[in-house]
Amino acid sequence: MAEMEETTVPFKNLTSREYPGHKKKVHSVAWNCTGTKLASGSVDQTARVWHIEPHGHGKVKDIELKGHTDSVDQLCWDPKHADLIATASGDKTVRLWDARSGKCAQLAELSGENINITYKPDGTHIAVGNRDDELTILDVRKFKPIHKRKFNYEVNEIAWSTTSEIFFLTTGNGTVEVLAYPSLRPVDTLMAHTAGCYCIAIDPLGRYFAVGSADSLVSLWDISEMLCVRTFTKLESPVRTISFNNTGEYLASASEDLFIDISNVQTGRTVHQIPCRAAMNSVEWNPKSNLLAYAGDDKNKYQTDEGALLFLVPDIWLQKLSLMSDLMSKRTQMCDYLTAADRRNRLQRFKVAGAIDFRGSEGDKINLLAFMLNDQNPERVCNLVVRVSLASNRTKNASSPIPLLDIEEKGDLTAAKELDIMTDI
């Protein structure tokens, strides 16, 4: 979960929180309409609802939603009711849950393995897509199908426009199909990408929609003109998930690459990249504030005492370099240094892709961080803030955490001895 306090340079300071709960990888995350609850759907056949306090650091309350007999592939909240959530599962059912009690309030049995679900913006209808490329529209009040349509092409994701007058389908043909709603009459076919279009996100202000593709590109489209206005090119693998923030200013996108890209919608430029430990399945901005939740594949990387490391740097440093990409390019050099440091008992263990367990003196930590920044002068590390989150007592059978980022405003430190290291066990 990321909370972005606006500064002259965005994403100035970062901290991280991980919420363990699911026993297998998480496919989907979604915020409720008030931004106070976060839901997650998993291969472990459950969904979970977390009550989030953006600035709280106590134990987080969560409710498990049990009842599905197959993977919960996607979920979505009622846009008008902060405690109602719908889940789509491979068990061919769609369930409506009361997030306060954790009980299933409605159930619809459909014809195929469900993989997509989305609410109409006014909360009256739910659209569900299955693996057989069939679309079902449910009336929320009766929780019964009111329309079904089978398509002769691969349908990957579905979405309504903010006005509900347009219904979008992304397809395996590299197109976006534009349908009128409620008639579902074809209006346009947009030749969007050279490979399959996987995901779609709607700008909350209704100006744009974005499409992520297997060609590793994200395209931004003007809804009124149905024209592509720019592309985002930072990812190198098929784009799995995208999301606009609540002001429509930033677009987050993720793939099998070990980072989440956050770009400015108007300029197309990357403003930050969040390092990840696995391929991402879902990213979702909070609808009220700059908090980003994300979840990915469980690749058994969450072992005992493994630390998730985030670097927080002063404005001027952030303007000059992308820290994590700079570190990754120095991977071999870093390993050589850390091996030497280990021989001197400065570090007991190190993991290259952004995971470090600090077990040395404060001076050793400062020297190590100085080296990572390609600057051997410890005095220039005086403004660096590092927050380390450790996952303890986790085995390969333990619950998989949902990684979240929390960005806070912190005052610049004035001396190297004030290096701030927080361990959350």
Q: What is the pLDDT of residue 248?
A: 96
Q: Where are the domains of the chain?
A: 15-296, 306-424
CA-CA-CA-CA torsion sign (5, 404, 211, 73): negative
pLDDT band at 402 (very low <50, low <70, confident <90, very high): very low
Which amino acid, 100? R
Looking at residue 364, its pLDDT comes to 47
Query: What is residue 71's predicted lDDT score, i.e. its pLDDT?
Result: 96
Asked if residue 45 has pLDDT above 90, the reply is yes
End-to-end CA distance of the chain: 17
Cα 7–Cα 10–Cα 15 angle in degrees, nearest 5: 100
pLDDT at 16: 66
The residues, any chain, with a CB within 8 Å of residue 83's CB and separated by 6 or more, are 32, 37, 98, 99, 100
According to the model, what pLDDT value does residue 92 have?
Answer: 97
CB 2 within 8 A of CB 404: yes
Contact partners, residue 302, CB within 8 Å, separation at least 6: 277, 391, 394, 398, 400, 401
Write down the mean pLDDT value for the chain: 75
| pLDDT tens, position by position, 270-289 | 999 999 888 999 999 999 98
- Which CATH number describes the domain made up of 15-296? 2.130.10.10
Q: What is the mean pLDDT of residues 113-140?
A: 97
Report the pLDDT value the prediction gives residue 317, as an integer from 0 to 100. 32
Reported in sequence order, the residue ranges of 267-392 that DSSP labels E, i.e. its strands, are 270-275, 280-285, 292-296, 306-312, 350-351, 355-356, 385-391
Amino acid at 136: T
